[in-house]
Amino acid sequence: MAVDRSKFRTCAQTSFCRRHRGGHSASLYHYRLDPDSVQLLEVPGDVVADAAADAPPDTGVWSSVKKRMLGDNHDQPLLDPYVKGPGPVFQATLLNTNANTNADSSSSSSSERLQLAVHGHADGMARIRITEVYGSAHTPYEKARWTSDELVLNTDELISTNHVEFLSPSAISELLTYLPSINNNMKPNQDASDYIGVQYGADQGDMILLFHIDPFSFTFWRKDDLKSGPIVQFGEEQLMHFEVRRSKEASNSDVLVSEEDDADFIKDGEEEDRHGGKEIVGYWEDGLAIYADGSREEKETEDEEDEKHRKLLEEQAPELDTEGMWEETFSSHEDSKPYGPMSIGMDLTFPNSQHLFGLPEHASSTHLKSTFGQGAHYQEPYRMYNLDVFEYELDETMALYGHIPFLVSHSVTGGTVGAFWFNPTETFVDIQEDASSKHSKTHWMSESGIIDLFLLPGPTAEAMYEQYAHLTGRLALPPMFSLGYHQCRWNYKDERDVYQVHEKFEELDYPYDVLWLDIEHTDGKRYFTWDDNLFPHPAEMQEKLWHDGRRMVTIVDPHIKRDNKYYIHKEATSKGLYVKDNSGKKDFDGWCWPGSSSYVDFTNANARSWWADQFSYKKYQGSTPSLFTWNDMNEPSVFNGPEVSMQKDILNLDGIEHREWHNLYGMLFQRATGEGLVRRNQPDENIRPFVLSRAFFAGSQKYGAIWTGDNEAKWSHLEIAAPMLLSMNVGALSFVGADVGGFFGNPDAELMTRWMQAGSYTPFFRGHAHHDSARREPWMFGDETLVRLRHAAMARYALLPFWYTVFYQAAATGMPIMRTMWMQYPQTESLFSLDDQYLIGSDLLVKPVTGEGVTQTTVSFPSNDLWYNVDTSQVVPATTSTTGQDEAISVTVDSDIDKIPVYQRGGSIIPRKLRLRRSTHLMTKDPYTLYVALDKSQKAVGELYMDDEVSFDHDRRKNLALASFSVDFSSGNIANSVNVGSGWTETVSDLAEGRMVERIIVMGVDKAPKSISTASEQLQFDYSAKSRVLVIRKPNVSSLKNWQINITV
């Protein structure tokens, strides 16, 4: 199996990427910041006086800056109607002074002026927006470019700084002494007059932006750590590139390829010739045609002429590469580009950092590898364009199903810093590691939009993820059942099949929570319907499963069958809710599972609201409160479209081209679906939604779960699962998982066992299989394997109180659930690149076994902490004696087929429920066992979050509690301090009986206690000197009440 590469573009086959990459258009762009345009929009009065007192005479740049500070009259550009959140605190004009642009470089009347706006945030974030100067009548940029602030940004938590000031010349001079040698713009005898500095107040210390005037660039600093240098540098490579809108007529002289040559390249009639006159009756997911005679289209290969033309484009002189600026063709699909070239790009450098992470989703390592320069690991930049990539390959930078243009740098000296490139259009990112200077360079290239860059200063992972939560929103706390095991297959054939599978799980006492139905459950791929022959009693079926504590999930995709008798299509058509073709007059017609299909415009609020209404129990006949939803194919996937998606020039209901909102579509679809599951609630219901999506963008964490798509039943796909999921978590997308067992193919017993073990320690835990795969329910691999698979599932269920607590912490703080090692150990550099082991929260270290026949595994343990084997409760001996340095200790551990290496951090307390149940619903009132792992000081702390696990009452009525456990053996006490929400305050005594602690297991105890007691009774306990484990039985305390247990040693 291999991806059909002819279906998907490379950078060299993408005109805007060619123009940006490798300096193809560098000769056209040279930006200068116009000092006469500078404005500080909010300045306390005393700041002006203080800065002016340190100023040189009123000449040059300082004179211009001071006038702006004092509010000198200056023309204000028209406000951008799309921008949301805190307003700018600093504005200026950028001039493209390159002679090749025919611009008047001496005047701000230049035809290539750009507006720079800086937004300072109270949490330290800086937003840098660079746009055309909007409002110039009768120009292509009279109106603002469309942006998606309203659809993505979490404006409720974005708070402006309350203090901003210009830096004085002396302050600027001090900064210049700390600029690293990487600053390519530094010239001999440079002084403060070449710069403008802005300082703004932040919760964690003031931040500084230092702007270089000519050529334009800037550096970003933490004021409390100037000597370490800037944490981010913008424009040091002078790769900023902003294609302003212009009329096609004005650019005709620039066109490289003649009409005759272009026609030759496009190959008129290619669509007809390609199919040999055969009648097309459909398309498969790989985009290949299905013919009336039953045959299928063969994969396309690049012919010699195409290859020669492509290489010519790559090698030609930069100033000549104008092909594809006004029209572009790929694989017979034409993009009309009515607005011409509108691409933007820029470079960011991360000084003294060799470790970059993020940019999900790619089937590659979590640590981003070099794509450019000498010794590059990849030849193609990381591509970010949501696509349905059939049979994707590994160790690739090819685009996949979802993307988050968020990159994180981490280093020992610079700490953690993030860069969010707020742009949902097709984007490429080059990574270049500079080994000599230890800097990392990045080059961002997008087809359209504006330069809208958020810089998140950290300085810790905790601080940076709190900033990112302010920016794009917080993880939605899911219902508890969704953290259990999900059983899925394309497809469970009928109700009889569903019952047989469910009853077998019951018979074997195998825990699971959700049974899933794929597309075949519908009436001819018409979503919100049921096949009456196969599923004649859907509500009764759901109720039977719910009687045993199980839910169901059905698939609902965004493509709607074009059938006038189908009520969904009929209503959407009559209300005008579909995406339009490029004329804006007809509904777009694409091919997907139902055949000819239309697509709801989820960028439109009315369309999203209408879609949400379709989930009401009255409209979605056969649905019940125990039915939830799976959104697939929402990249969007269009089998007969370019790159198996929509044409870029088709329009939404506001007339905005698809190219502008492509990467948002899947997220907005999931958002509308989730809203539908909330709206369907009856007055006596308050049920949280669960929606799984394949496509995603920044902010998807607010709407549900994501999975990694159509993986394969191969060891290599199991191995890549953790790096892919960690990369998503770097992008704050935490509720994620990979299909257990692999979607395509047939895993053997060993691979299935290892995948079930690994999956049980990932946030989303689902087994899934293709319809051509053999049945692979847990009992299909024999009794011996069944025992192993059930053991893995039971370990998951025992840890559900811990998982639920970590989800609560993620929602509250923004920190990822599944963490790379550096997030908890920021000074241990040897751990930074590891992605074959990870942490769940801060307290569990997991090292999945991903190789065939493996019986021993090497684990890297941070030496700062003790680590306890979760199976034996024994401390790892190598971690007990360390030098006190931040280092990692590599230990080879046993990992035979029955074992996945998992370790609890010393100093932590983890709650479990140990009674075997078949679903989360049946576990609700089960008692807790607390697992205490003592640190080197014989102490430990931990939390347990509690609510009803189902409803929104934790948020709306404050029906919740947070227990904070602590153990201090040196002082002889174990205690609980519980914070009970206002909604539970009056009923906490009644609820306490259902939240009891039945056992406390303490690991790492040096000697046996003489007695253990509460205020009212002596407690029973067992102590093993050999294992150093203390077990306190039946302490008769509740997690919902404050208590203390006294230990006498």
Instruction: Report pLDDT digits (tens) over 743-789.
Output: 999 999 999 999 999 999 999 999 999 999 999 999 999 999 999 99
Q: How much is the pLDDT for 198?
A: 96
Q: How much is the pLDDT for 316?
A: 54
| Structure-model confidence comparison of residues 170 and 47, the more confident one | 170
What tokens appear for 386 in the block?
A: 């949501």
Q: How much is the pLDDT for 886?
A: 86
Q: How much is the pLDDT for 28?
A: 86
Q: How much is the pLDDT for 287?
A: 72
> Does residue 57 have a pLDDT over 70?
no
Could you give the angle at the alpha carbon of 732 between the alpha carbons of 727 and 738, nearest 5°? 50
pLDDT band at residue 52 using 50, 70 and 90 as cut-offs: very low
pLDDT band at residue 280 using 50, 70 and 90 as cut-offs: confident
Q: How much is the pLDDT for 574?
A: 98
> Does residue 956 have a pLDDT over 50?
yes
Question: Could you give phi then psi for residue 125, rounded to 5 degrees?
Answer: -60, 145
Contact 117, 452 (CB under 8 A): no
pLDDT tens digits, residue range 476-486?
999 999 999 99
Helix intervals (H) in 814-951: 821-824
What is the DSSP secondary-structure string of 983-1041? TTGGGHHHHHGGGEEEEEEEES--S--SEEE-SS-B-EEEEETTTTEEEEEEEEEETTS
Q: What percent of the chain has pLDDT over 90?
A: 81
Q: How much is the pLDDT for 103?
A: 42
pLDDT tens digits, residue range 75-130?
444 468 999 999 999 999 999 998 666 444 333 444 589 999 999 999 999 999 99
Residue with tokens 């960028």: 603
> Does residue 941 have a pLDDT over 80?
yes
C-alpha closest to that of 192 among 182, 177, 202: 177
Average pLDDT over residues 891-911: 98
Average pLDDT over residues 326-351: 94
pLDDT band at residue 933 using 50, 70 and 90 as cut-offs: very high
> Does residue 46 have a pLDDT over 50?
no
Q: Is 496 exposed, middle or buried (0-12, 13-18, 19+ CB in 10 A)?
A: exposed
Rounded CA-CA distance 866/876 in Å is 7
pLDDT band at residue 335 using 50, 70 and 90 as cut-offs: very high
Q: How much is the pLDDT for 137?
A: 77
Residue with tokens 């424009």: 235
3-state secondary structure of 933: strand
Rounded CA-CA distance 507/497 in Å is 15
Q: Mean pLDDT, the chain, as a whole number?
A: 90
Q: How much is the pLDDT for 107?
A: 39
pLDDT band at residue 202 using 50, 70 and 90 as cut-offs: confident
C-alpha closest to that of 55 among 173, 213, 168, 192: 168
Average pLDDT over residues 566-577: 98
Rounded CA-CA distance 321/863 in Å is 54
Contact 223, 202 (CB under 8 A): no
Amino acid at the residue 969: F
Q: How much is the pLDDT for 331?
A: 87
> Does residue 978 have a pLDDT over 90?
yes
Beta-carbon contacts of 653 under 8 Å, excluding residues fewer than 6 positions away, are 576, 577, 579, 580, 601, 603, 604, 607
pLDDT tens digits, residue range 487-516?
999 999 999 999 999 999 999 999 999 999
Rounded CA-CA distance 33/97 in Å is 10
> Does residue 268 have a pLDDT over 60?
no
Rounded CA-CA distance 533/494 in Å is 8
> Does residue 51 have a pLDDT over 50?
no
C-alpha closest to that of 466 among 811, 822, 140: 811
What tokens appear for 350 in the block?
A: 């991360």
Q: How much is the pLDDT for 73?
A: 36
pLDDT tens digits, residue range 167-184?
999 999 999 999 866 555
Beta-carbon contacts of 544 under 8 Å, excluding residues fewer than 6 positions away, are 499, 502
pLDDT tens digits, residue range 662-671?
999 999 999 9
Average pLDDT over residues 219-239: 95
pLDDT band at residue 250 using 50, 70 and 90 as cut-offs: low
Catalytic residue numbers read 632, 635, 710
Average pLDDT over residues 895-899: 98
Contact 40, 68 (CB under 8 A): yes
Contact 443, 21 (CB under 8 A): yes
> Does residue 885 have a pLDDT over 80?
no
Q: How much is the pLDDT for 80?
A: 86
Provide the 10 A C-beta neighbour count for residue 855.
10
The pTM of this model reads 0.93
> Does residue 288 have a pLDDT over 90?
no
Query: E-assigned strands of 671-816?
Result: 691-693, 705-707, 736-737, 765-767
pLDDT tens digits, residue range 411-443?
999 999 999 999 999 999 999 987 777 899 999
pLDDT tens digits, residue range 810-867?
999 999 999 999 999 999 999 999 999 999 999 999 999 999 999 999 999 999 999 9
Q: How much is the pLDDT for 135?
A: 82
Q: What percent of the chain has pLDDT over 70?
A: 89
Q: How much is the pLDDT for 433?
A: 87
Average pLDDT over residues 877-882: 80
